[in-house]
Structure formats: C-alpha cells, structure tokens
Chain A
C-alpha cells in the first residue's frame, strides 16, 4: 500500500483534532500549550504534504514561517506562565479565574 498525499492529510487532520480536544479538556496551561503546538505542527505536516503533492517549494517555505511564529509564541507564552507562577504559586486554569460574568 502506497502512502499518498491523502494519507498525510488525514493524519494531519487527526493530529489537529487531538490537539483541539486536548486544548478543550486539559487544565494545565503548559499542556494546553503543547496541544496548541500539536495543532500547528499538524498543519505544518499538511503544508509539506501538499507542497510535495503539487511539486512546489511553497509548502516547505510556509512551514518555516509557521515554525518561527510558533517559536515566538512559545517564548511569550512561557514568559506569561512563569510570571503567573511567580505571583500565584499555581498555574492551574481553574484557579487562575478571578473574572467571571
């Protein structure tokens, strides 16, 4: 059985869905953030697969940009999480909840 572009796209969709579900059910910001990274990397997979399918370099180029953006997000996100931990000694999403309707 040959691995076609379709397989990559389906795998990417599955990974993306796992990421989305993780974001929705997890309580620890770091884990949520890892799930978001999973989503972004799932998309990267489909970019590469599509670029290969069409014989274009664009797909891989987009991945580099997406990676750079993800790295910027990681550092800002970790900075925020560390700042919260410093002042509260917890980062549980249920406890970081002062504001409600």
Chain B
C-alpha cells in the first residue's frame, strides 16, 4: 500500500489533468443554462493545467525512486520534460480555443475536457514503460482527438475529417496492438519471463546476440502504429485532410500534442530496442528522409495555409525522426563515450525541437484564428494577401512563426534544427545531417511564399482588417508563442534544464 501511494504521487500531473477534465465535464452537464461556460470551463481547465505543470516541475526536481506500478509507468526526467512541453501546449491550445469557439458558435464545455483528456493520454504515452499502457495511452489521446476533429458538427468538412481520422487511427491502433502481441510473444524467447515491459526487454536484448524474429516483426508493426500517429511518410495520408477539415483550434492542438506524444513514445520504445538497432536503424533513416522530403515537396504547391502547415508538420516529423535516428545510432566505429554523448545530445535536441515546433505551430494556427471573422475561417493564401498593410501586428507575428518553422535565425526553429544537425553529426550520420539541411532549404521556399504574399501583394478588394471578436485568449497565446520563439531562439540556454532532463534517458 505504501508503494501504491508512492506510485500515485508520482503520476500526480496526469491525475490532476484527468480530474480537471472530469470536473469540466460535470460542470458542463450540471449547468446547462449557464451561458458563461465560455469563461468558466476554460478558466478551470487552465487552472488544472497550471497545477499539473507545477507538480510536474516538482517531480522533475525530485524524481521518485523505485518501480512505480510494478514498473508499468515511470516518472523519470524524460517523461516529465515531455509532460511539461505538453502542458504548455495544452494551455496555449485552450487559450486559442476560447476565441475560436466563440467566433464559430461552438461554445461547448466538452471541448476543454476533451483537450484535457487527450493531454493526459499524451502524458501517459511519455511515461509508459509497459507497452500495453502505451497502447491505452495512445487510445486515450486519439479517441479524444477523433471527437475534437468532428467538433464542428454542422460543417461537413469537420465531420469528414473526423471520419477519416477515426478510420485510419483505429486501423493504426490494430497494427500497434498486433506489434505489442508479437513483442510479448517474442520476449518469451529471450530468457526472461515473457513481458511487455520496455525496461526489461531492453536489458535482456542487450545480453543476447540474435533477437527472435517475432520480436522484430512486432517492433515493425509497433512502428507502423506509432508512425500513423506521428504522421510519418508512408502513413501520412490522413494528415492533410484531417488538419484541413478539423476546426482550426483543434488542428493547432492536434498538430502539437499528438506529435509530442507520438515522438515521446517512439523515442522511448526505440531506446529500449537500441541493442538490436542493426535491424531497424536503416528503416528509421529511410523513413526520416522520405518524411522530410515528402512533406516539404507536397507542401510546395498548396494554396491552403492549413493544408500547407499540415504538410509542413509532416516534414517536421521527419526532422524529429532524424534526431531519433541519431539517438539510436550505435555504430561500431565510435567509442562508447562518443556514443553516449551523441545519444544524450540527440535526446536533448529532440526535446528542444518538440518545444519549438509546438510553440510555432500553435502560434501560426493562432494567427489564422486571430484573423478569422465571425463564422468564417481564414484558410487560403488569398485571405492573407497584403496582410502587412491591413493588419501589421498579425502579419509580423506570422512572419516570425514562418521564419521559425523554416529554421531561420534568430528563432527557436533555427536553434532546434541546429541542435539536431549537431547531434546527427556527432553520431556519425553525416549524410543524414546533410539531407536534413537540403530538406530545410526546400522548406524555406513555401514558408517565405506566405511571407511574400503577406508583405508584397496588394490586399484584395473587400478584405478589411477584421479581427476575431473577444480575441484576448488567442492574443495572449500568440504573444507567449512569439516571445518564447524569439527568446529561446536567442538564448537557448534557458531551455537547458529541459534538454538535460530529456537527455537523462540512458541507453539500455
């Protein structure tokens, strides 16, 4: 029982987020006539996220010792670093949703509770050590996101996005579960008790020379499932449609949170399988290259900004996968010390990049929400024509986000790419680092195209600078995002504690 209390206190952040979600849900159903749900629900959600953030910081500074829940969940610094990034994302998403829901007449309290539930799911993904816990976490995240994608029930596009996301997500969940079953089966062949615990599997894999074929198949299927969630290239088909069709505030949240959760899970799973990296590292490298180039090339021709950002999010998943490949490269050429350095700097780079990606993506979608008139979404490049003249503040914040996504100094995106580039060079994958550079040069074209449309094209007739009503929420969120993008771009050392925490995940 002592042990259980210990375990429960270690997952306090997730519990707080879940309980807040339930409170918001009850509040929404108990006070149906209360029109003020637009202040109350988001306010309560923000408070919950804030408390969870503090408790996560506390756990980061005082990591719990010993096994939690019999080793099924961990509260190590890596998981807390991911949780902190997720909670920041959730707070920003709640802020931009306040404005968006008000403008689109979607003011239902369920929105916030779904955001909170999916955040808790992503947090468990970052903390799961047991694969079945990982599966449940993935589903908590996704089921909430399916509903969110179809949240604008009256819009056919939103419903279509929900259906597509749901069918493909459930399809991917099948692969994920089959992968877990095969890994469970394969783990029986390598001496120890059959298990799905990543820590145990990693330890026993490092002691054998030939892994069972079942386990490699299982890992492959597991990667297919997680790749769907992260939007990696052979499994990316759903991304543009869902991002375009879903309500913009959902797209912003989904683009950030699902990716953080998926990459936290990918990093943790692949870290456990490093001893057999000879079997899968090349696959990860190839997928990383495909994802970077596929996303960037498909983004070139888009004239819908949401769709363009969807393809760009695919490309960013590719950059993150380069960091994963760098973290897991255990080439024989290098000394153990060099490997360990490359490993930890790649993990740090991945964490930094996740933070920078989520801040900038939410900010960029936030600008679209900021500009959306009552009942109408801003989606296409045409809507942004001449924005620098009609609405300079929005145009220049968008400019900064585009620079950051494109990886141009002095923004956070540049520092993130620089860290990943460095880590990849350290781990001895020079070709991958060079391809990363080439891919980001391609990407600069379409990011700057947006900037060019905003700054150097005449505004269309009849487009006035009409900002969203009651834009306090989205404004706060955009200013926070812009501020941190610039601040951390110039002084990346401020994020160092987070990066150190993320890089503390040891090789098995």
Q: Report which A residues bind B (CB closer than 8 A).
A: 9, 12, 16, 19-20, 23, 29, 32-33, 36, 39-40, 42-43, 46-47, 50, 53-54, 56, 58-59, 62, 65-66, 69, 72-73, 76-77, 79-81, 83-84, 87-88, 96-99, 101
Is B188 touching A73 in the complex (CB atoms < 8 A)?
Answer: no
Cβ 8 A contact of A50, one of B146, B162, B166, B188: B188
Q: Which residues of B lie under 8 Å from residue A66 when comparing CB positions?
A: 135, 177
Per the bound structure, the CA–CA distance linking A65 and B139 in Å amounts to 11
Is B174 touching A29 in the complex (CB atoms < 8 A)?
Answer: no
Is B244 touching A99 in the complex (CB atoms < 8 A)?
Answer: yes
Q: Which residues of A lie under 8 Å from residue B235 when comparing CB positions?
A: none
Per the bound structure, the CA–CA distance linking A59 and B135 in Å amounts to 14
Name which of B174, B180, B182, B185 has the most chain A CB atoms within 10 A of its CB.
B174
A62-B184, A66-B135, A99-B160 as given contacts; A73 in contact with B153, CB under 8 Å:
no
**How many interface contacts (CB-CB < 8 Å) are there between A and B?**
120
Is A40 touching B143 in the complex (CB atoms < 8 A)?
Answer: no
The smallest C-beta distance from A68 to any residue of chain B, in angstroms, reads: 8
Is B167 touching A32 in the complex (CB atoms < 8 A)?
Answer: yes
Q: Which residues of A lie under 8 Å from residue B166 when comparing CB positions?
A: 73, 76-77, 80
A43-B177, A50-B194 as given contacts; A84 in contact with B146, CB under 8 Å:
no
Cβ 8 A contact of B178, one of A39, A65, A97: A39
16 A/B residue pairs, CB under 8 Å, sorted by A: A16-B174, A23-B171, A32-B167, A36-B170, A39-B174, A47-B184, A54-B188, A62-B132, A62-B184, A65-B132, A72-B139, A73-B166, A80-B162, A98-B245, A99-B160, A99-B240
Cβ 8 A contact of A33, one of B159, B162, B167: B167
Cβ 8 A contact of A84, one of B139, B163, B171: B163
- Residue B136 CB within 8 A of the other chain: yes
A-B complex: 3 closest residue pairs judged by Cβ atoms: A39-B174, A69-B139, A43-B177
Cβ 8 A contact of A76, one of B132, B147, B244: B147
